[in-house]
């Protein structure tokens, strides 16, 4: 930590709250037993549902012999193996057997053992407090700056709303009010993944949908339309406290394999073309919405051996003693042989440094509103808006093996556009259309010389509709024109004085998704703020958002 602080680096700790090491054994075997067949029981034999207990309440006393679907036991050598000591209590686990990955959907993912690892009873307030105290010590003793939370989708749906506030309290007391966490929940569907943030309360999650689509795009197996479709689902993540800009984006990891492995095995590119696709992948990672995370070793072109997954994607940065790692392909360079990867200068590392510098010099590229402008064939393009200077940037990517010439609509008419990264300058016509040529397997970033035009007075309307994909209510707002505006959605009970914010959307189509209530009428409204700061709002609209699925 001292070295990291000297280098002005933040340190995130990979933590696990779902399970511990595999110490518990079951004499009845390891096949999962559903709650319908064997409900949880208290030590006195009364049936109960762990999800019915709220934070801080006294959890029922349990018995290893009669409370669970399985009878847990541990070898004498392991009865005191875990810390904190409360985790050695066998009744602090679900004890239902292993998750059956071929058939499990729903609750079995949250109370089954993950590949045999002992699944914690995270509904138990004692367990919640123990995990908060244990991981809190990493913050107070060592100055950890954030958590990456493993297997986040496998805890009960109430856990993060109870555990994270305790962690935040510890962090604030330790002088780290900006302490944050992101979770690993392997869903490639945005509607499913967003539930972990919008409903369960995690501030961010690893963006598996982005990884899935970005990978197929940069390997040349998907079109720009696939990226346009991906970003069109960003509104699923919008809430009063979070949105898609906070997603943790990435290209590969140790579980699935490196981006270099995907490029080498799933595209036909070799040599220089393979390097160009790797650079394109990182351009896409750094220049679209989200917080980019690079897996170590990608900057030196590591690819991976065998199937590229798990241990095959955990190569050494120091001189390796593993023969296959000495010989495996490196993108942008030769196999490492007996050399060290530490301090190695590569074209990929150089590009990453340039991308990071561009994001620092042009904040719109990291946090500005992102508006999809084009998605077809081999090209995807989007605007990034700097709200403070009222200037528009255009980022465009071409995964094809030939130059792509396209015309892209923007919000800045009759303006020169200067190159920031790649490409050459351009000019938009009176309607804001820019014609650009993007070289094969590359990207470009342009900045408009003119500020956004002064918009006319804004107006907005709002309605409510059922969203059968998520079981929520979709609240779309309509704002005439093409100005890069933002819309904030609010809700209240009829007659109440105060409005509750639902979220803010900064790209068309403007909308939020709201979980159904108890069927009581509510009032919703939308407030638009255009790029010049002009504001307009709707009259309250009374609707009923009762459950419908």
- Domain end call among 421, 448, 475: 448
| pLDDT bracket for residue 548 (50, 70, 90) | confident
Q: How far is CA 48 from CA 42, 59, 157, 198, in A?
A: 7, 10, 17, 28
Domain-located, residue 130: no
Q: Is the pLDDT of residue 56 over 80?
A: no
Alpha helices in 1-46 (DSSP H): 2-6
| Backbone phi, psi, residue 400, to 5° | -75, 165
Distance CA 351, CA 243 (A): 28
What pLDDT does 1 receive?
Answer: 87
DSSP 29: -
Q: Does residue 296 lie in a domain region?
A: no
Q: Are 527 and 487 in contact (CB under 8 A)?
A: yes
- Taking residues 526-538, report their average pLDDT: 98
The set of residues, in sequence order, having a beta carbon less than 8 Å from that of 22 and lying 6+ positions away, is: 113, 116, 117, 118
Q: Does residue 301 have a pLDDT over 90?
A: yes
436 and 485 in a single domain? The answer is no
What share of the chain has pLDDT > 70, as a percent?
Answer: 100
* 181-228 residue pLDDT tens: 999 999 999 999 999 999 899 999 999 999 999 999 999 999 999 999
If you average pLDDT over residues 259-267, what whole number do you get?
A: 97
Residues 6+ apart with CB under 8 A from 385: 364, 368, 369, 370, 371, 391, 392, 393, 411, 452, 484, 506, 531
**DSSP assigned state of 277:** H
Statement to judge: residues 476 and 505 lie in one domain = yes
Q: What is the CATH number of the domain that holds 398?
A: 2.60.40.1180
Among residues 448, 479, 511, the one where a domain terminates is: 448
Mean pLDDT for 346-361 is 97
Which residues, at least 6 apart from 115, have a Cβ–Cβ distance to it below 8 Å? Answer: 98, 99
d(CA 205, CA 236): 13
Residues 465 and 441 in one domain: no
Percent of the chain, pLDDT > 90? Answer: 94
pLDDT, average across residues 4-10? 91
What is the C-alpha separation between 481 and 88, in angstroms, rounded?
62
Q: Which domain holds residue 527?
A: 461-544
Q: How high is the pLDDT of residue 63?
A: 97
Query: Is residue 418 in some structural domain?
Result: yes
Structural domain includes residue 38? no
**CA atoms of 11 and 145, how far apart (whole Å):** 5
Average pLDDT in the chain: 96
Give the Cα separation of 18 and 128 in Å (integer).
11
Region 281-304: what's the mean pLDDT? 97
The pTM score is 0.95
> How far is it, in rounded angstroms, from Cα 18 to Cα 403?
49
Task: Give Rg (Cα) of the chain.
Answer: 26
Inside any domain, residue 478: yes
Domain C-terminal end among 399, 419, 448: 448
Sign of dihedral through CA atoms 200, 202, 208, 213?
positive
pLDDT-derived band at 303 (thresholds 50, 70, 90) equals very high
> What is the predicted pLDDT for the residue at 520?
87
pLDDT class of 244 with cuts at 50, 70, 90: very high
pLDDT at 381 over 90: yes
- How far is residue 373's CA from residue 36's CA, in Å, rounded to a whole number? 50
Domain membership of residue 410 (yes or no) is: yes
Q: Does position 174 have pLDDT exceeding 80, yes or no? A: yes
Please tell me whether the peptide bond between 205 and the residue prior to it is cis, using omega within 30 degrees of 0: no
Quote the number of domains for the chain. Answer: 2
pLDDT digits (tens, 9 = 90+) for 10-19: 999 999 999 9
Same domain, 478 and 413: no
> Is it the case that residue 55 has pLDDT exceeding 80?
no
**pLDDT value at 57 more than 80:** no
- Verify that 540 and 466 share a domain, yes or no: yes
Residue 46 pLDDT > 80: yes
Active site residues: 150, 184
Give domain status of residue 481, yes or no. Answer: yes
CATH number at residue 525: 2.60.40.10
Q: Is 539 inside a domain boundary?
A: yes
What's the rounded Cα separation, in Å, for the pair 173 and 193?
Answer: 31
Predicted pLDDT of residue 447: 98
């Amino acid at each position: 930590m001292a070295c990291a602080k000297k280098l002005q680096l933040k340190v995130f700790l990979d933590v696990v709250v779902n399970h511990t090491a595999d110490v518990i054994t079951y004499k009845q075997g390891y096949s999962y037993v559903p709650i319908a067949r064997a409900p949880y029981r208290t030590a006195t034999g009364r049936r109960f549902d762990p999800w019915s207990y709220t934070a801080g309440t006294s959890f029922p006393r349990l018995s290893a012999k009669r409370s669970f679907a399985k009878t847990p036991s541990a070898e004498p050598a392991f009865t005191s193996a875990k810390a904190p000591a409360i985790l050695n209590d066998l009744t602090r686990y679900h004890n239902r057997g292993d998750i059956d990955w071929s058939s499990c959907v729903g609750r079995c993912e949250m109370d089954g053992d993950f590949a045999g690892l002992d699944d914690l009873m995270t509904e138990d307030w004692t367990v919640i407090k123990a995990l908060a105290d244990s991981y809190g010590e990493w913050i107070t003793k060592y100055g950890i700056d954030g958590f990456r939370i493993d297997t986040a989708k496998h805890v009960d749906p109430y856990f993060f709303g109870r555990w994270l506030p305790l962690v935040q309290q510890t962090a604030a007391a330790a002088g780290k009010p900006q302490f944050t966490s992101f979770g690993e929940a392997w869903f490639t569907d945005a509607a499913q993944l967003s539930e972990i943030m919008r409903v369960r309360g995690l501030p961010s999650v690893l963006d598996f949908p982005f990884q899935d689509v970005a990978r197929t795009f940069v390997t040349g197996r998907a079109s720009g339309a696939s990226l346009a479709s991906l970003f069109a689902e960003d509104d699923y993540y919008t809430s009063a406290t979070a949105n898609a800009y906070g997603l943790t984006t990435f290209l590969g990891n140790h579980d699935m394999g490196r981006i270099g492995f995907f490029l080498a095995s799933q595209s036909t590119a070799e040599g220089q073309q393979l390097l160009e696709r790797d650079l394109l992948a990182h351009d896409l990672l750094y220049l679209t919405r989200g917080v980019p995370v690079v897996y170590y070793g990608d900057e030196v072109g590591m690819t991976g051996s065998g199937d590229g997954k798990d241990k095959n994607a955990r190569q050494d940065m120091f001189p390796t003693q593993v023969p296959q790692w000495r010989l495996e392909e490196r993108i942008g360079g030769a196999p490492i042989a007996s050399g060290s990867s530490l301090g190695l200068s590569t074209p990929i590392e150089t590009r990453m440094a340039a991308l990071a510098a561009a994001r620092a010099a042009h904040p719109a590229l990291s946090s500005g509103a992102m508006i999809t402008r084009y998605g077809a064939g081999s090209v995807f393009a989007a605007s990034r808006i700097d709200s403070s200077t009222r200037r528009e940037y255009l980022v465009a990517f071409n995964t094809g093996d030939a130059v792509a010439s396209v015309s892209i609509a923007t919000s800045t008419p009759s303006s020169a556009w200067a190159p920031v990264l790649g490409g050459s300058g351009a000019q938009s016509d009176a309607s804001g259309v820019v014609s650009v040529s993007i070289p094969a397997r590359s990207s470009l970033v342009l900045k408009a010389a003119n500020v956004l035009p002064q918009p006319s007075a804004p107006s907005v309307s709002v309605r409510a509709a059922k969203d059968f994909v998520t079981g929520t209510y979709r609240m779309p707002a309509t704002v005439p024109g093409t100005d890069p505006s933002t819309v904030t959605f609010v809700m209240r009970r009829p007659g109440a004085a105060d409005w509750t914010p639902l979220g803010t959307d900064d790209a068309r189509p403007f909308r939020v998704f709201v979980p159904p209530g108890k069927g009581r009428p509510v009032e919703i409204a939308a407030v638009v703020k255009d790029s010049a700061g002009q504001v307009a709002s709707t009259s309250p609209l009374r609707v009923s958002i009762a459950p419908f699925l």
